[in-house]
A = this chain, B = another copy of it.
C-alpha cells in the first residue's frame, strides 16, 4: 500500500484557508484533518481528540522534549503544536492528511517533513484581502494595518511552497487541491522503490 500525502494549506490570515478546508473535508470524506495539541482550556462543545488534543503545560513541554511535534508555537502563553504521531499514523495507513496552518508554521513543518505538499492560498488581490479583513468588523484600524503588513511580507514566502492557488471561488480552489493531490500521487519521486536500479 502506498503512503498517504500530507497536504499543508497555508497563506496569510484572511485568505480563506478555513473555509476552503471545511469545503474540502466535506467533499472528500477520505481526507483526515490533522488535529493539533494545545494547552488552552477547551471551549464549550470542543471534544478532546477531535477539536484538539488538550494537554497541560507539563504534558506539552514533555512532548516538546520528546521531539513529538512537526511544529509548535507559543501564542499568548498557550502552546499549539502539530503532533507527528497523528500524521505518521494516518499517512502510514495510506490516508491523506490535511493541515491548515499559518505561514510561519507551514515553513517549520516543511523543514521537518519535506515530502509534504505545500499549498499557498493567495487572495485575489491585496485590496480584496483588505476588504475581507475589514468586513469581519472585529478589529481596530491599527490591527487591520498590522495584519495587512504581515500578509504583505508573508506573500514573499510563497516561493518556499510547491503550489499557489488564487482563492477566487471555494469550489474552484477545492477542485484544484484535488487535482494537485491526484497529480502528486503520480509523481515519480513517490515511487522510489520501483525506480531503483
Is A161 an interface position by the 8 A CB rule? yes
14 contacts between A and B (CB under 8 A): A156-B195, A158-B188, A158-B191, A158-B195, A162-B188, A163-B186, A163-B187, A165-B186, A175-B182, A176-B182, A176-B183, A178-B179, A179-B179, A179-B183
Shortest Cβ gap from A183 to chain B (Å): 4
Interface size on A, residues (CB 8 A): 24
With a CB–CB cut-off of 8 A, which chain B residues contact A176? 182-183, 186
With a CB–CB cut-off of 8 A, which chain B residues contact A162? 187-188
With a CB–CB cut-off of 8 A, which chain B residues contact A182? 175-176, 179-180, 183
Q: Which 5 A-B pairs have the closest CB atoms?
A: A183-B183, A179-B182, A159-B195, A179-B179, A180-B183
**A156 close to B197 (CB less than 8 A):** yes
Interface string of A128-158 (1 = CB under 8 A from B): 0000000000000000000000000000101
Known: A120-B188, A178-B179, A180-B183. 5 other contacts (CB 8 A): A156-B197, A158-B191, A163-B183, A164-B191, A183-B184
**Residue of chain B at shortest CB distance from A191:** B164
A161, A178, A188 — which one has the most chain B CB atoms within 10 A of its CB? A188
Is A194 an interface position by the 8 A CB rule? yes
The complex places the Cα of A183 from the Cα of B165 at a distance, in Å, of 10
**Residue of chain B at shortest CB distance from A187:** B163
The complex places the Cα of A191 from the Cα of B175 at a distance, in Å, of 20
Shortest Cβ gap from A96 to chain B (Å): 14
Shortest Cβ gap from A97 to chain B (Å): 18
The complex places the Cα of A158 from the Cα of B179 at a distance, in Å, of 22
The complex places the Cα of A161 from the Cα of B190 at a distance, in Å, of 12
